[in-house]
Amino acid sequence: ATLAYSAITNNDKIGVIFFSDKIEKFIPPKKGKKHILLIIRELLDFTPENQGTDISVALRYFTDALKKRCTTFLISDFIDTHDFTRQLQIACNRHDVIAIQVYDKRDTSLPDVGLMRMTDLETGTSRWINTSSRRTRQAFSRWWYERQQSMSETFSKCRVDHASIATDEDFAHSLMALFKNRGVR
């Protein structure tokens, strides 16, 4: 997951925080093409040390590290077993936070293919699931829907604009709609 931010006062400083269940890398905000190329290179080459996700750790680090108000893009799949609501509220009191969920549509439902081995990439635990069971597929779809609803409620409660973008979608359309809905702030 990534926390990207830019200084709103001059609109040309950019920085990034890479995180998992810990802060993996922090690139402080700076100006210039050379700095932006460094960030792009890091985005392309970055491999996290840990596999877990703890958004509250990133938000806490972010609010401690940056005192000046800025616009922040919190980019994640938001699959996090930790409650990050409190840290998100604190971040939103100091900064303009925009959440962008990136997800794979294959993660939203289970196909009817019989026995399937599923591995949690964060914990490494595996188990076999019978996807032929309609009840199992419905339970999984319900879990996805409830998780999405909970995430949306958290963002609304914290007054965070957000967009969900599937990996196979044209992200430009979703981002344009997000910014159109935000209007001028």
Low-confidence ranges of the chain (pLDDT < 70): 1-11, 184-185
Percent of the chain with pLDDT over 90: 65
The pLDDT assigned to 8 comes to 45
The pLDDT assigned to 184 comes to 46
**pLDDT (tens digit, 9 = 90+) per residue, 99-149?**
999 999 988 999 999 999 988 877 889 999 999 999 999 999 999 999 999
Domain 2-105+150-182 is of which CATH architecture? 3-Layer(aba) Sandwich (3.40)
**Strand 161-166, strand 96-103: pairing:** parallel
The pLDDT assigned to 51 comes to 84
**Phi, psi for 89 (deg, rounded to 5):** -60, -45
pTM, two decimal places: 0.85
Q: Which residue's entry shows tokens 């700076």?
A: 30
d(CA 17, CA 61) in angstroms, rounded, equals 9
Nearest to 14 by CA among 27, 3, 1, 30: 30
Domain coordinates in residue numbering, the chain:
2-105+150-182
